[in-house]
Amino acid sequence: MSLITVISVLGITLGVAALITVIAVMTGFSSYMQERILGTTSHILVTGAGGLPDVDRVLEDVKRHPEVLAAAPYVMGQSLLKTDGDVTGVVVRGIDPLQEGSVTDLSRNMVQGSITDLDQKGIIIGAEMSRQRGLRPGDFVTLVSPSEISSPFGMVPILQRFTVAGIFDTGMYEYDTGLVLVTIPAAREFFDLEEVVTGVAVKVRDVYRTGPIAEDLQKSLGYSFWVRDWKEMNQNLFSALKLEKITMFVILVLIVVVAAFNIIGTLILVVMEKGREIAILKAMGATRRNIGRIFMLEGLVMGLGGTVFGLLLGLGLCWVLAHYQFVELPSSVYYVTTLPVRVQLLDVAAICMAAVAVSFTATVYPAYRASVLNPVEILRYE
Closest CA to 202 of 365, 9, 41, 94: 41
pLDDT digits (tens, 9 = 90+) for 204-257: 988 888 889 988 888 888 888 888 888 888 888 888 888 888 888 888 888 888
- Helix (H) / strand (E) containing 16: helix 2-40
Lowest mean pLDDT among 15-29, 100-114, 176-190, 324-338: 324-338
Q: Return d(Cα 296, Cα 277) in angstroms, integer.
A: 17
Average pLDDT estimate for 22-44: 85
Q: pLDDT confidence of 180, banded at 50, 70, 90?
A: very high
Closest CA to 266 of 1, 11, 15: 1
Average pLDDT estimate for 142-166: 75
At 152 the pLDDT is 59
At 149 the pLDDT is 61
pLDDT digits (tens, 9 = 90+) for 83-116: 876 888 899 999 988 888 888 888 888 898 888 8
Q: 140 near 78, Cβ under 8 Å?
A: no
Q: Return d(Cα 369, Cα 364) in angstroms, integer.
A: 9
Q: Between 288-324 and 235-273, two packed helices, what is the crossing angle to 10 degrees?
A: 140
- Helix (H) / strand (E) containing 204: strand 197-204
Residues with Cβ within 8 Å of 330's Cβ and at least 6 positions away in sequence, in order, are 337
pLDDT digits (tens, 9 = 90+) for 62-87: 888 899 899 999 999 888 888 876 88
The mean pLDDT of the chain is: 85
Lowest mean pLDDT among 2-6, 326-330, 331-335: 331-335
